[in-house]
Structure 1
Amino acid sequence: MFTGLVEEIGVVAELNPHDETGGTSLTIALPASSKLLEGALLGDSISVNGVCLTATNLGTTTTTDNGNGNGRQPSFKVGIAPETLRLTNLGDLKKDSPVNLERAVRADTRMGGHFVQGHVDTTADVVSVTPDGNALTVRLAPKTLDALKYVVHKGYVALDGTSLTVTRVDDAEGWFEIMLIAYTQERVVLARKSPGDSVNLEVDVLAKYAEKSMAGYLGAQGEVLVRPMLEDVVRSLVAQAMGGHS
C-alpha cells in the first residue's frame, strides 16, 4: 500500500528484457544523496511510476557523473511480470528515463495522499498541458474508457503513482483533467510529459468496492442503477476525507 506522495525521482539504469531468470528486470539508479533504500530489505515493495514491484537486488550501479568519470550510485533492481508489461508503460522506459519512486507505507506513516495499491488499471495518454497561472492543467484520455466510470469530479486518481485530484471529467469525449501546482511540478515525472506521452492510471479502489457491493445487491440491473449512486458515494467519501491534493 502507498500514499501517492512521491518520495524521489530515480532514473532507469537498465531495462533488461532477458535477464538471468528468463524474464524482464528493471534497474533504477538513485541520486548519490538518496535515503530511499535506508533500512530496505530484499523483497520489499517499491512503487515505480505507480506500479508496486518487488526489490530483488539492492546495491549500487556504475554511472557517468556529468562527464567527470565513472561514479557509483545507489540502485535497486525489480522484476516485471508479463501482465505488468501489458497493463503499464514500464516496457516503454529507456535508459535515463525518470521514474517516480515511493516506498510502501508503514503502520505509523501519515496518510497525506490517498490509498494507492500500486495496481495499475490502464494507461492514459496526455492530451494537453495548459498553463493556468503558475499551475499546469493536464488533460488525459484513458486507454480503457471503462476506467472513466471510476473517475469523478473532485475524486482521487494515481498517475504514475502520484496522488492527484480530478478537476474535470468528460465521459462523452473520454477525458479527465488534473492540476499540478508549482511545488508538485518540481517533484513528479508527470510535469515533464508532453501530449502523446503515456502515464499509468490507477483509479480509487474505494469506487470499485462500492460498485461491486451495490451491483451485487441490485442484481442484473446493477450497472445501470449503480453509477449515479456510486458517484454520490465517492463524492461523499472525498468530502469527509482531508482536502484535495494537487
Structure 2
Amino acid sequence: MFTGIVETIGTIKEYIERDTSDVGGYGSSLVITDCQLILSDAHLGDSIAVNGTCVTVTDFNSTEFKVGVAPETIRRTNLCELRPGNKVNLERAVAGHVRFGGHFVQGHIDTTATIVSITPDGNALTFWFQPKDESVLRFIVEKGFIAVDGASLTVIDVDDVNRKAFSVMLISYTQEKIVTAKKPVGATVNIEVDLMGKLLEKQVTLQIENQLKGQLSETLGGYIEKMVDSKLKQMK
C-alpha cells in the first residue's frame, strides 16, 4: 500500500527486456539509480512504486535498485516505454509510523492515459488526460482522488461524453516533485483510480443481481431509502 506522495525522482539506468538472471526466470527488469534517499532501509523483496506501479526489489546497493517487471505489468503500464535517462516517480510502501498525506494507493495500475492538453493557470498547470481504457471514467469524479504516475492528485473536471478525459491541476510545488509536470502533450502516464469507487460499484452490482434473482425480500429502492434515512438521522 502507498500514499501517492512521491518521495523522490529516480533515473532509469538500464531496461533489460529479456532477463533470466533473477529468480522467476524469463522476464524484464529495470535498474533505477539516483535514489539513495529511499534505499537506506531497503530489503530484498520490498515493494516500491515506480511511476505508481508496485514492483519488487530483487537487488540493490546504496544508490540504485533492480526490479522485475511481469508481462501483465508490461501490458498495463508505461514501464515498457522507459529507457536509460528517463525519470520516474518513486515511493516506498507505507510504514506504520508514516503520516498519511495522500490517499490509499495500491500500486495496481488500471490503465494508461495520454496527455491531451497542458494549460497554464497562473503558476499552476492544468493537465487533461484521456484514458486508454475509457471504462475507468465511471470511477473518476470531480474533486475525487486519482493516482497519476503514482502521485495522489485531485480531479478538477471530468468529461466522459465528448472529450472522454479528465483533468488535474499541478501547483508550482508539485511541478518540482513529480515527473508528470515535465511530460509533453502526447506522453503516456499510469492511472490508478480510487479503490472506493470500484468497491462501491461491486456492492451495488451484487445488490442488483440478487434483486433480479429474487434473493432479496426488499427492493433496491427500499434498500437505498433505508441507507439515506440512516444517514439523515446521524446528521441530526
Question: TM over 0.5: same fold?
Answer: yes
Listed one character per residue, the Cα deviations across residues 150-172 of structure 1 (whole Å, up to 9, x for unaligned) are: 00000000000000000000010
- Deviation (angstroms), 1:218: 1.8
SS at match of 1:4: coil
Contact 2:15 2:29 in 1 (8 A): yes
Q: Which runs of 5+ in 2 are unaligned?
A: 213-219, 232-236
Equivalent residue, structure 2, for 1:144: 133
Task: Pick closer, same or farther for the CA change 1:221–1:9 going to 2, 3 Å.
Answer: farther
Match of 1:40 among 33, 39, 42: 42
Equivalent residue, structure 2, for 1:239: none
SS at match of 2:138: helix
Deviating runs (4+, > 4 A) in structure 1? none
**Equivalent-residue separation in structure 2 for 1:117 and 1:127 (angstroms):** 26
What's the TM-score, normalizing by structure 1? 0.82
Equivalent residue, structure 2, for 1:56: 58
**Equivalent-residue separation in structure 2 for 1:109 and 1:202 (angstroms):** 21
Equivalent residue, structure 2, for 1:170: 159
Match of 1:103 among 92, 95, 117: 92
Q: Tell me the amino acid that sits aligned with residue 22 of structure 1.
A: Y
Contact 2:4 2:152 in 1 (8 A): yes
1:82 aligns with 2:71: yes
> 1:77-226 maps to which residues of 2 (within 5 A)?
77-173=66-162, 174-219=164-209
Task: Pick closer, same or farther for the CA change 1:211–1:191 going to 2, 3 Å.
Answer: same
1:28 aligns with 2:32: yes
- Deviation (angstroms), 1:22: 2.1
**Equivalent-residue separation in structure 2 for 1:214 and 1:108 (angstroms):** 35
SS at match of 1:183: helix
Q: Tell me the amino acid that sits aligned with residue 47 of structure 2.
A: S
- Deviation (angstroms), 1:18: 1.1
SS at match of 1:186: helix
Listed one character per residue, the Cα deviations across residues 134-163 of structure 1 (whole Å, up to 9, x for unaligned) are: 000000000000000000000000000000
**Equivalent-residue separation in structure 1 for 2:211 and 2:61 (angstroms):** 54
Q: Which runs of 5+ in 1 are unaligned?
A: 61-73, 237-246
Equivalent residue, structure 2, for 1:71: none
- Deviation (angstroms), 1:108: 1.8
**Equivalent-residue separation in structure 1 for 2:90 and 2:211 (angstroms):** 41
Larger-gyration structure (1/2) = 2
- The number of aligned residues is 212
RMSD: 2.0
